[in-house]
């Protein structure tokens, strides 16, 4: 049965290549997107942390996004 699954009656190379390429590309794009997102989150949180206490307070109060990124970043470290 496994032999049949691999060979696919002679079409194995084409079928497995199609599925492999599709899911490999999907995995690479996922990893790249995830890394970029984390990089931006990290940089944004770092920039907020570098602000003075007053500035940081204002940013967190004025921007929901900044406060969410900051809290999720502090959870990860």
Partner 1 sequence: MFKLFASSNIFFWIEKLISFINSIFFVLLLVALSFALIFSPPDYLQGDSVRIMYVHVPSAWIGLASFTSIALLSIANFIFKIKNIKLVTKSIAPIGLMFTCLAIVTGSLWGQPTWGTWWAWDARITSMLILSLFYIAFIAAHKFINEEDKANKVSSIIAIIGLINVPIIKYSVDWWNTLHQPASIKIIGSSSIHSSMLMPLFLMFFVLILYCALIFLMKYKTEIIRIKKKNLKRL
Positions in the binding site for partner 1 (CB under 8 A): 5, 8-12, 14-15, 17-19, 21-22, 25-26, 29-30, 33-34, 36-37, 40-41, 43-44, 47-48, 58-59, 62-66, 68-69, 72
In this structure, what token pair is assigned to residue 31? 């990893």
Answer for the pair 68, 75: CB distance below 8 angstroms, yes or no.
no
Considering the complex, what minimum distance in angstroms separates the CB of residue 26 from partner 1?
6
In this structure, what token pair is assigned to residue 43? 């940089």
Question: Could you give phi then psi for residue 52, rounded to 5 degrees?
Answer: -70, 165
Considering the complex, what minimum distance in angstroms separates the CB of residue 21 from partner 1?
6
């Amino acid at each position: 049965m496994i032999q049949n699954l691999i060979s696919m009656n002679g079409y194995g190379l084409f079928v497995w290549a199609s599925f492999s390429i599709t899911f490999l590309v999907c995995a690479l794009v996922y990893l790249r997107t995830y890394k970029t997102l984390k990089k931006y989150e990290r940089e944004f949180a770092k920039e907020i942390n570098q602000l003075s206490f007053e500035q940081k307070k204002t940013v967190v109060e004025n921007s929901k996004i900044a406060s969410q990124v900051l809290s999720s970043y502090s959870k990860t470290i």
